[in-house]
């Protein structure tokens, strides 16, 4: 593996505007009023300024404290509070007030709960359907490792439009980067979603710049396609703080373009590949494209869509 570089300033071409308080203020105020957490803030997303200025935010349910300590993540680790039963309704209210056509809902890992937090996802999807029936729903879930099969099934049967679960990194790096997870368990989860409901779009993503090789990236893309994944995101890993694992390498725009070409050649319905790509970045636009592809009769060669 390439020796990791020390904590350092990001390259100039990776620097993005933070957004003015006037532009991002309304979104911040609404999240505070409704007592909602966002992964935008908790994970120190570089796109916060742009997204919040557009009144888009990725809501993070089940609190802001995670039961795991992944080396790449900026979210606090510790003992979480019990699930907030009023949270699903407040997520739906936020969606209504922001007039979202597409909403992304994620969560921390909740290994302390018998179902890993699955029921909170179910309740949130149900509340959104009731309050905002025209809004498409994308969820980004943890892996529900060591939880009953019914946990995952309950969410899929509730019928989100997009089911996202990120593999995050190549399998060789899991021990160091994602020690509480297992690569093949996450891959099976994505495959299981398609088995339960082939009509749901599935999505996954990788962070690059952690020391992976091109061959390893291509193998993960092949694994995703074998699991019927429809949409893939590829973005540059950025070290959020000094306590997180360092960046091994900053990939160029040209390299991301090449990986995007490779992914499209493998049959993904939609590919987002750029240094600042994140799981929910421009997710509303991506979903519109996927819907158009479905209406046009285009489908994944390895995953049923109809």
Write out pLDDT tens, residues 3-12. 545 555 667 6
Query: Where do the domains of the chain lie, and which CATH numbers do they carry?
Result: 16-295 (3.20.20.70)
**Residues 55, 172: Cα–Cα separation, whole Å:** 38
Tokens of 23: 């532009």
Write out pLDDT tens, residues 106-133. 999 999 999 999 999 999 999 999 999 9
Residue 252 clears pLDDT 70, i.e. is over it: yes
Longest dimension (CA), the chain: 51
Q: How many residues does the chain have?
A: 306
Q: Would residue 99 be called left, alpha or beta, if left means φ above 0 and alpha means ψ between -120 and 50 degrees? A: left
Write out pLDDT tens, residues 270-300. 999 999 888 876 566 666 666 676 666 554 4
**Residues 149, 144: Cα–Cα separation, whole Å:** 9
Is the pTM higher than 0.85? The answer reads: yes
Q: How confident is the model at residue 166 (pLDDT cuts 50, 70, 90)?
A: very high
Asked if residues 136 and 101 have their Cβ atoms less than 8 Å apart, the reply is: yes
User: CA of 267: how far to CAs of 25, 50, 262, 277, 278, in Å?
Assistant: 40, 30, 9, 19, 20
**Residues 236, 239: Cα–Cα separation, whole Å:** 10
- What is the DSSP track for 174-196? HHHH-TT--HHHHHHHHHHHHHH
Which of 61, 38, 176, 71 is CA-nearest to residue 109?
Answer: 61
Q: How confident is the model at residue 15 (pLDDT cuts 50, 70, 90)?
A: low
**Residues 209, 244: Cα–Cα separation, whole Å:** 14
CB atoms near residue 267 (< 10 Å): 15
Specify the higher pLDDT residue, 99 or 25.
Answer: 99
């Amino acid at each position: 593996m390439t020796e990791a570089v020390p904590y350092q300033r990001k390259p100039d071409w990776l620097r993005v505007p933070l957004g003015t308080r006037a532009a991002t203020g309304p979104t911040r105020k609404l999240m505070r009023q409704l007592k909602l957490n966002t992964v935008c803030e908790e994970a120190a997303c570089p796109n916060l300024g742009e997204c919040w200025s557009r009144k888009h935010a990725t809501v993070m349910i089940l609190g802001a404290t995670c039961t795991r300590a992944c080396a790449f993540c900026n979210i606090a680790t510790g003992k979480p509070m019990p699930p907030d039963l009023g949270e699903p309704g407040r997520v739906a209210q936020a969606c209504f007030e922001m007039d979202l056509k597409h909403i992304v809902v994620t969560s921390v890992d909740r290994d302390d709960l018998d179902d890993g937090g699955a029921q909170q996802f179910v309740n949130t999807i149900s509340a959104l359907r009731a309050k905002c029936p025209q809004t498409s729903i994308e969820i980004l879930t943890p892996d529900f490792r060591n939880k009953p099969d019914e946990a995952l099934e309950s969410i899929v049967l509730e019928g989100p439009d997009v089911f996202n679960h990120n593999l995050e990194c190549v399998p060789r790096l899991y021990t160091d980067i994602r020690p509480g997870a297992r690569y093949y368990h996450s891959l099976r989860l994505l495959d299981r979603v398609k088995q339960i409901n082939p009509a749901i779009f599935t999505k996954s993503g990788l962070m690059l710049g952690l020391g992976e090789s091109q061959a390893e990236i291509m193998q993960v893309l092949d694994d995703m396609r074998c699991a019927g994944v429809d949409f893939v995101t590829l973005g540059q890993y950025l070290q959020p703080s000094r306590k997180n694992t360092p960046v091994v390498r900053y990939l160029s725009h040209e390299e991301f373009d090449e990986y995007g070409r490779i992914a499209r050649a493998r049959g993904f319905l939609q590919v987002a590949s750029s240094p600042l790509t994140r799981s929910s970045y421009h997710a509303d636009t991506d979903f519109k494209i996927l819907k158009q592809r479905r209406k046009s009769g285009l489908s994944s060669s390895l995953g049923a869509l109809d």
